């Protein structure tokens, strides 16, 4: 091989200078008008759906700051997403009515209606988990059909609504009942933790396509987990939602509801990289609470690497589909 | 003098062992049924009224933890409140509908309706500043008349409501328009900071009895500030609301919206102690965000000392009025 | 299944609001008089037995604060301890003479004499490891026979006493020599770390029933470890003492003497849950130094989950034995 | 007055949501091409001139993040800079050769040559104090005359160069000797601290127009300090350089070389606001080390408020001079 | 003046590189054998006398680390102590029996017996306040007469002993009763804070030469405070003991028992520097809890600057007395 | 066995009191003159070769502080290095010209020329990775032949130089081209992470003896990794350089460039201990950024344990070779 420019130290170092310049997701151009964009990276700084943590609105900024050093490629995937498709930072969803969970959900839905209408595939950074249903609702209105769901989380987030609002961080039962997601094409990965009642997650276990607990994940191994995910969602369109608390808090301490006995980054990234080729119509990363991260910002780094990974998977799919 | 028990080191030390045992406010007995109580110390763990900070719901716990070492007397006031009246920790206001600001305000109001009906004088720990109007609303319904207000803050918190809710952390204009507080018997102390618009606080300056900015406070000095407060609120019933951000962030870093160029604890405590004898019908301390405090917990210590001070002032008043 | 109350989001969320209200262990009722109690949760805020760390007296408060969100059930065990037996927070052992290690040990012993006399099974939160021998001494005086010991730790804590006091954090050799524990029914799990002398732990290896080092634990696996523990302690009464430093510091950083190359929570909890059915007469969790924990409080969370686990195991045993 | 839009809570709150969206200095538009700009806000993320601290390159990002909530007006000055002139964020000076202090100085100088050539007045955020001489050198080459200097600092930063480089964080003696600044029109404010040798600052005291130590500042008061500054720099062009360590570390802990016994924000901001009307041709804020700041980010807040203040002073001057 | 070596940047910078090399107090030579020493800097890493904080044993290391950048002169005093007398770091007092407060006090006393016998003047860094009486006891045995005491503190530390030990952090009443200090030549400066009983400090007020509360300090000012100290201790030998909690926690957060409304560094250092010429026979700095300090280490910096100040005062005295 | 002194608690505890006394590496004697030394422990406080992190100069101090509690033996190796050879702390390399990377490299090289000339085997603590090439250059000039290299790292650090300097933290390609290391006897362990270009590490993969990525490490296991290292470096002299970022950031957060999906301490220490008997001519530990460590200092603890391990391996080799 030749001593190409890309192996020069100065160019390499620039990619690690995360603190330099204006911070955008993966140092992509900021295009609030959605122009020239195949994949849109979007911040949803909302903490209006979860009373726990309540620092999730600080997530997008923290991921921008750190992921500004992540305009990179994933070694094992050998995908350069920035060469394949046009990737932009679309900014944050404006949330002036953040104090009201229902109005906030409406604001999120309205923003994504524009995104889907423009033919942009969104990869979003929350915010708490209440941001996902309105995104999916916007897609549902655009497409008219439910979507499959790949849901990494230590909690099923599938309960009856709160007395205060339907738009909570645990809205996947409601999303299924509303026909927004297809429960049979929904797979949850990483469920664990002690429970307020032993029946708590019964709905999910009985109604979803597949629930892989952390215990089962460890027992069957990454390869089988990947196979199960592929089997459940199949070739149809699927959305990927990733709650950072699926990782063990030793690996991602900065989350709202840390659950012990979790998965390592090694286990999780193997599965994530195993999803190449699926028909992903969007993805999000939720639950990051920056003030609970450690000084080395390892949760921000994990979120940034996931952001890059999801972008790679989708870019690869779009390029393969001739859309890049 | 005699070598009384209270000067023995072991007894003294116990008062400093803030970490010992079950933490209640000022280590008072926990009486959720409101029995045997003249002054009720109450936590209001709400962050539903302010999008900034959003860690204020963690305030009551943090103040209980630290104030458990504050069952003390204030040297200069020479008031022993625990000998004068019956002081209890009434627990936290239950806030199951915390995601909805209006429902939360209703829950707060309902709790304080019980408190006032029981003849208990409340001293509350927030929570963001949205907790104060529902407390005053409960009192208003109980008494049928507006109350005077002594309002320490770096912000006037007197604006037209948010589109999302009337129950925000800036509800004092609304409270005045609703007849809950008497604007002419309202005094604000410590207003400062840069402003989004130069007209921002015009309503407060034009409609309230007195607004003493931090600049004016420093210019006229503590004695004059005390005189002004006494002049404005007079002998009638008055409520004291204390936003910790009136203190300079060097002295109270753990607040939602720190404003530079603030007041020192020395300046503030002189004024607070100068309010002895006023007809205080309740008090609160708001805006504490424990994760933003420093390792030495100096904001928690300031809040605890304010809690003790307000309790002393009210105990002294109740005892003088023959109610202790 | 039915859409039972316990799967409603509001009820679920309440279990996660660890900051709400007065903090007791696992949010159990505070019963300092020991009434109506089968299992008594007790804080022992002592740091008088270990010169390292010396923040262990802050442990009980920190575990109360976090475990207030842990009134839960363990998914895999399917035990609801709160339905089986009466569980109370008995408060902290009063330690006015904390500066003197021997007097403090006497104070602890006297407290537990009352506990055992009342027929209450104690689950304690330290404090450093010097709290365990006086608890066992109280039991020994009550019962008149030595007890088996299941001892999770990275250190054997079995040395000749300090010149300063016999009541140190390393008192298990002394406890064996005093006939308080039965060395042949004692098993240590997790021993590791570099050593001041290669003979340091010889006494333990030569005299105890079994010492399973971390290296051996990893080699033989959790199932074999469980079998070994069961084999050594048998059906007789056994006490479980858990030093948090048996966990790797990546999983439990907030300990006095972190030892690298430790066990993961996954490895440890599998073993702990495998102890179901043993005749546990008490348990404790020691060595937590809250100021060394990280912002996400993962050590406090681990301690809280262990507290719940030990309570489940004992509740199950008591219920099975017809005592719940 | 009318109930203008700018006193509506939602609009007010937006100004406090510092975490929202893409962070630029004072939330100004990002214009890397220098178009449509009167005042250019510039980051200079360099720590190549000071071996102490060495986190100053993280300063611009941290000030952008926090000052995104500072698009405001200063109450006492009654200046709305955003209405007076066109203010842009020009991004960071590219510093690919950051490891070499001399090459880095050249890169800084080249950037500012473009800025001055475009008629833009720069307000910069460092970086360590080595960023100031190359800025002034660029101006000198553009204008051909030395500039007056208003220098807030606890150190004179006026020494003979290091053996390693002339481009250190203490380059004001060199700048004077090179004719870039006019020492007679240079005033230093806030000098203090213990010294390696009593002669250390002799050059500054003997050669500069005026050195006001912190002791003298306190003795003569803010009004006299303002008068002295005005007297020394007169009506001619002057540059303002502000090392955050002039503030007491209680008020600005996040600096490379904290010096005790410093000035309060109250003292400093009174002087800064007293400089209105001076012919300021640029300004900078240096020495911020974000990892040394506290959780409440009070140093970032101080830097943001200084950035706003300097922008106001210059906007006012430009508008008065008919350039806005 | 000439461009002397000591104004060269490289030499100046070396004094600020506190992290470089082996850390000793003020970067003085380590001489555990007490040879060639006029002033001996000594660490006393004990936390055996105070149940609060219990991290004071970490103080000497933290002060060594930071004061390694403080081999300097005090600008206003114009004293170069390193040129006047021989100053050494004597290491830490060995405290193998740290768990026992009385044995520890004996170990401290024995160490200082050697120090005084060698004619060395000690300046010590604690450790909690229990280190001072054994130091004074050693001196008393050496000299045979009580000493005057200049005691900076927010607490009088003068109570009847604990049930657990006489060797507590509050031993000045005992020290007076034992004839070790002369109560009439004792002055306390900075007493304040809320109190467990109003009589708590009666003994100190009635029996000591002078107690200047913080309130009185602020009222009468630094000049009068200096005069009062000089009047009380006179020309006779006096020992200076400095509890860092006399400083306001905004200026020195890293202390065991922070008391609000304290003194600023500006106020304190003016008084300290005003003690020049007094017959100081030793000094100490106590109560530093490094884990409670902030990231900028402002408490460590304050302790280091006090260490330098006390060393200057004593060096000046020794040199004047012809002993340097 | 006998109850030897070394199993007495007081002696054991002393080894854990890391905060006591003057801190040197592994509490070895400080011998800046290189006398009586077989293994010299050396600090190289440089951050002049890497723009990322830039706190690596704080590493030696932090490792001294913590490793002062590590004068121990490694359980599994059963090596007591302190009994085998003479081990000293040689202090830090003086780096007065730290601002200039090339001059700093010269200063490092000159220091190690003295070390090798004295027949001392160096074990060094950085500093960033730019410290290794000058150490090897000094050895090369002393010996006249290239050395084998065992290189633990998540990055290959083998690129063409920066425009600013050849002396960067990524100088292993240059070192090979200069004939200082033998590329065919070089093995890299742990390479991973996302990359700025897919060709970035091509030079290393094509030119070095062996590159074992983290993925391959996990696949083949510790035993095979040890075999591969032994195969590549053989019996000839080899230098061991350990970048702490080879560890997963959950286990070593305090590094300049954390890379997810890393190796656990369990995996790494097994390999390190498997290197016994190799002909190690020196070793270093680099990349530690103390301000990014967590409160429990787990990175400092890991670095200390590695320092002990490398010292054991070399002491064993020297003793076997008859040099101890």
8 Å CB contact of C196 and F4: no
Q: pLDDT tens for residues C163-194?
A: 999 999 999 999 999 999 999 999 999 999 99
What residue in E sits closest to C166 (Cα-Cα)?
Answer: E99
Q: pLDDT tens for residues C92-131?
A: 999 999 999 999 999 999 999 999 999 999 999 999 999 9
Query: Which among F243, F240, F210, F261 is positioned nearest to F314, based on CA atoms?
Result: F240
Chains A & F: contacts with CB separation below 8 Å: 108
- Give the pLDDT score at B285: 98
Reply yes or no on whether the pLDDT at C28 is more than 90: yes
The pTM score is: 0.97
Reply yes or no on whether the pLDDT at F246 is more than 80: yes
Residue of E10, E14, E20 to mutate for F, most F C-beta atoms under 10 A:
E20
Reply yes or no on whether the pLDDT at B3 is more than 50: no
- Give the pLDDT score at A323: 61
Q: How far apart are the first and last CA of chain B?
A: 28
Chain F hits for C292, CB-CB cut-off 8 Å, are: 295-296
Strand arrangement, sheet containing D147-152: D87-92, D39-44, D121-126, D280-286, D238-243, D147-152, D181-191, D210-213
Cα separation, A171 vs A177, whole angstroms: 10
- Give the pLDDT score at D323: 61
- Give the pLDDT score at B2: 36
Where b means 16+ CB within 10 Å and e means fewer, B51-69 reads bbbbbbbbbbbbbbbbbbb
- Give the pLDDT score at E323: 62
- Give the pLDDT score at D322: 78
* Percent of chain B topping pLDDT 90: 90
What is residue F89's three-state secondary structure? strand
Reply yes or no on whether the pLDDT at F124 is more than 60: yes
Q: Which among C170, C291, C292 has the least Cβ separation from residue F9?
A: C170
Name the pLDDT band for B5 (thresholds 50, 70, 90): very low
Cα separation, B77 vs E260, whole angstroms: 16
Contact E207, E176 (CB under 8 A): yes
Contact D31, D89 (CB under 8 A): yes
Cα D18–chain centre separation: 21
Q: Which among F13, F19, F23 has the least Cβ separation from residue E45?
A: F19
Q: pLDDT tens for residues B242-275?
A: 999 999 999 999 999 999 999 999 999 999 999 9
Chain A hits for B291, CB-CB cut-off 8 Å, are: 55, 291-292
8 Å CB contact of E249 and B296: yes
Taking 70 as the pLDDT cut, the residues of chain A under it are 1-7, 323-324
Q: pLDDT tens for residues A225-273?
A: 999 999 999 999 999 999 999 999 999 999 999 999 999 999 999 999 9
- Give the pLDDT score at A121: 98
What residue in D sits closest to F168 (Cα-Cα)?
Answer: D99
8 Å CB contact of F196 and A17: no
Residue of E61, E89, E295 to mutate for F, most F C-beta atoms under 10 A:
E61
8 Å CB contact of F250 and A78: no
Contact A163, B96 (CB under 8 A): yes
- Give the pLDDT score at B170: 93
Which subunits have 3 or more CB–CB pairs within 8 Å of chain D? A, B, E, F
Cα separation, A307 vs A126, whole angstroms: 12
Contact C236, C280 (CB under 8 A): no
- Tell me: ipTM over 0.90: yes
Residues sharing a CB contact under 8 Å with residue F112, sequence separation 6 or more, in sequence order: F122, F134, F135, F138, F139
Chain D hits for E299, CB-CB cut-off 8 Å, are: none
Reply yes or no on whether the pLDDT at B121 is more than 80: yes
8 Å CB contact of C250 and A250: yes
A246 compared with D199, residue with greater pLDDT: A246
Reply yes or no on whether the pLDDT at D4 is more than 50: no
- Give the pLDDT score at C104: 97
Where b means 16+ CB within 10 Å and e means fewer, C82-99 reads bebbbbbbbbbbbbbbbb
Contact B233, B146 (CB under 8 A): no
Q: pLDDT tens for residues D91-118?
A: 999 999 999 999 999 999 999 999 999 9
Cα separation, A230 vs A217, whole angstroms: 15
Name the pLDDT band for F13 (thresholds 50, 70, 90): confident
Mean pLDDT of F172-199: 96
Query: Which among E266, E255, E49, E43 is positioned nearest to E154, based on CA atoms?
Result: E255
- Give the pLDDT score at E7: 63
Q: Which residues pair with B8 in a beta bridge?
A: E160
B129-143, C259-273, D159-173: lowest mean pLDDT where?
Answer: D159-173
Name the pLDDT band for E225 (thresholds 50, 70, 90): very high
- Give the pLDDT score at F7: 63
Q: pLDDT tens for residues D70-99?
A: 999 998 899 999 999 999 999 999 999 999
Q: pLDDT tens for residues E176-188?
A: 999 999 999 999 9
Radius of gyration of chain D (CA): 18
Rounded to the nearest angstrom, the minimum Cα separation between C67 and chain B is: 13
Name the pLDDT band for C14 (thresholds 50, 70, 90): confident
Count other C-beta atoms under 10 Å from residue E54's C-beta.
22
Reply yes or no on whether the pLDDT at D136 is more than 90: yes
- Give the pLDDT score at A7: 60
Chain C hits for A160, CB-CB cut-off 8 Å, are: 3, 7-9
8 Å CB contact of A16 and F52: yes
Name the pLDDT band for D12 (thresholds 50, 70, 90): confident
Residue of E200, E211, E297 to mutate for B, most B C-beta atoms under 10 A:
E200
Conformational region of residue E36, where left means phi above 0, alpha means psi within -120 to 50, and beta covers everything else: left
Give the Å distances, CA to CA, from B122 to A31, B25, B138, B280: 52, 12, 12, 10
8 Å CB contact of B164 and A49: no
Mean pLDDT of B84-104: 97
Q: pLDDT tens for residues C315-324?
A: 999 999 876 4
On average, the pLDDT of chain E sits at 95
Mean pLDDT of E287-294: 98
Angle, CA E321 vertex, CA E319 and CA E324 arms, to 5°: 35
Residue A247 main-chain phi, psi, to 5 deg? -75, 150
8 Å CB contact of E99 and C55: no
On average, the pLDDT of chain B sits at 95
């Amino acid at each position: 091989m030749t001593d190409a420019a890309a192996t020069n130290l100065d160019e390499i170092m620039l990619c690690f200078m995360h603190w330099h310049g204006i911070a955008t997701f993966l140092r992509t151009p900021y295009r609030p008008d959605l122009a020239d964009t195949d994949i849109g990276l979007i911040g949803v700084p909302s903490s209006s759906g979860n009373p726990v943590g309540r620092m999730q609105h600080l997530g997008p900024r923290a991921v921008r700051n750190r992921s500004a050093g992540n305009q990179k490629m994933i070694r094992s995937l050998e995908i350069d997403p920035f060469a394949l498709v046009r990737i932009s930072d679309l900014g944050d969803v404006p949330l002036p009515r953040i104090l009201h969970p229902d109005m906030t959900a409406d604001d999120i839905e309205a923003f994504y209606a524009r995104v889907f209408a423009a033919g942009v595939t969104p990869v979003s950074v929350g915010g708490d988990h209440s941001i996902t249903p309105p995104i999916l609702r916007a897609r549902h209105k655009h497409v008219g059909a439910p979507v499959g769901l790949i849901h990494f989380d230590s909690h099923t987030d599938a309960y009856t609504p709160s007395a205060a609002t339907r738009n909570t961080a645990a809205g996947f039962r409601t999303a299924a009942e509303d026909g927004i997601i297809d429960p049979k094409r929904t797979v949850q990965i990483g469920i664990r933790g002690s429970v307020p009642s032993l029946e708590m997650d019964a709905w999910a276990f009985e109604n979803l396509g597949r629930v892989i607990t952390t215990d089962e994940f460890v027992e069957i191994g990454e390869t089988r987990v990947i196979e199960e995910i592929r089997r459940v969602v199949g070739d149809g369109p699927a959305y990927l939602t990733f709650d950072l608390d699926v990782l063990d808090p030793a690996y991602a301490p900065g989350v709202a509801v840390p659950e012990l006995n979790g998965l390592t980054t090694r286990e999780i990234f193997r599965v994530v990289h195993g999803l190449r080729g699926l028909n992903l119509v969007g993805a999000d990363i939720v639950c990051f609470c920056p003030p609970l991260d450690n000084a080395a910002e390892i949760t921000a780094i994990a979120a940034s690497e996931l952001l890059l990974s999801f972008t790679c998977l989708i870019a690869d799919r779009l390029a393969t589909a001739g859309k890049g």
